[in-house]
Amino acid sequence: HFAGDTLDIGVDSAVVGDMKISKGRFVLDHVIAPDIISKADITLHLNGRLTSVFSYIAAEPISIDAQKIGIETGRMKGMADLDVGISFPATRDLLVKEVVVKVSGPVRDALLPHVLKTMDLTGDSLMLSVDGGMAGLKGRGKLDGSDIDFEWKQYLESAGKPFSSRITASGTGDDALRGKLGFGLERWMKGALPVKITYTEYEGQRSEILVDADAGKAMLMIPPLDYTKPAGQAASVKCKVILHNGFLAEVGDLEVKSADLDLKGGHLLFGAGDALRSLQIAHAKVQENDGVLDLQEDDAGALTLSFKGDFFDARPFLAKHKKIKDELYTIISEHSGQSK
């Protein structure tokens, strides 16, 4: 109907491709008034295949490209039941940034390919949203077969935004999952452990992973200190992992706590092949060692060590073979007036 210079059209039901539309409404204000730009408001309920929904919202005036926000539609599966709202000025030269889109609703039996690097996300019931220029998905599902609770956010246009995409997840991370994320750290950690991560991608091929893990079930190693925490001994790990072009570059804000290990203010730099270049720890308590640690390693594996503290056991750095260790123990025993 038309009343008060406003056109209002309702749609009880319709079909677009294989999608069912219900509860549709189109409102256009200031239809006749001169020198006033009309505003169009469209609301509707969509039910259909997820691939069809993304094809629909990719067209103008919505213009949400699934590929552009990091979703591959080729192997996508799922059924969507969405409320959609669209508003825009009714002008001939309409800009994408002038279109306001809101989408919300469940997606059932979903498969989203390569949501995180090469890993697929599946879920029986996930909540999809688009609001404020950002697409989102949250719920409980499986990331490459591993159970996770997650929330994914992606800017539709990331230029000038604080980040491009972000995934917050909690679940169990094992060696294979850490490798797929780009920070295997096989020399430093082995085994599955409950973990909370926030994975953020920025422009310029830079990624950041905030890690908060219960490492009790995992084995932790510090090769330069010849230290190993066995699996089954309580421990916690917090850190920030930085990736450049998908490769491990550094680990910062490192905190590790166990019965005989307390590290705070740790910062590690890595080279090609995840090779350690430097390690600085503001507070390093490893067994009997307690102080400030600075370690540099060159291409040949030679170590340059600086340690400030009341006590330091240098044997792990000087003795990489049992024969040398035995000789050092003999020297220490003789110096202290004891014999082996």
Query: pLDDT digit string (tens) for 162-194?
Result: 999 999 999 988 888 888 877 667 788 899 889
- Asked if residue 44 has pLDDT above 50, the reply is yes
6 contacts 29 by C-beta, under 8 angstroms = yes
Sorted by sequence, the CB contacts under 8 Å of residue 105 that are 6+ apart come out as: 80, 81, 82, 83, 127, 128
Mean pLDDT of the chain: 84
Burial letters for 246-278: b for 16+ Cβ neighbours within 10 Å, e otherwise?
eebbbbeebbbebeebebeebbbbbeeebebbe
Measure the CA–CA gap between 24 and 13, rounded to whole angstroms.
7
Q: What phi and psi values does residue 315 have, to the nearest 5 degrees?
A: -60, -40
Coil, strand or helix: which one is 17? coil
Residue 318 confidence (pLDDT): 60
The 10 Å Cβ neighbour count of residue 184 is 16
Structure-token match 């549709």, residue found: 24
Over residues 241-267, mean pLDDT: 92
pLDDT at residue 330 above 90? no
Q: Regarding predicted confidence, which is higher, 255 or 66?
A: 255
Region of poorest pLDDT, from 7-16, 158-167, 299-308, 325-334: 325-334
From 136, 190, 156, select the one nearest 64 (Cα to Cα).
Answer: 156
For residue 93, the model assigns a pLDDT of 86
Identify the pLDDT of residue 311: 73
Q: Please report, rounded to a whole number, the percentage of residues in the chain having pLDDT higher than 70.
A: 88
- Rounded distance between C-alpha atoms, residue 246 and residue 205, angstroms: 7
Structure tokens at 100: 């306001």
Mean pLDDT, residues 209-237 taken together: 90
pLDDT recorded at residue 316: 60
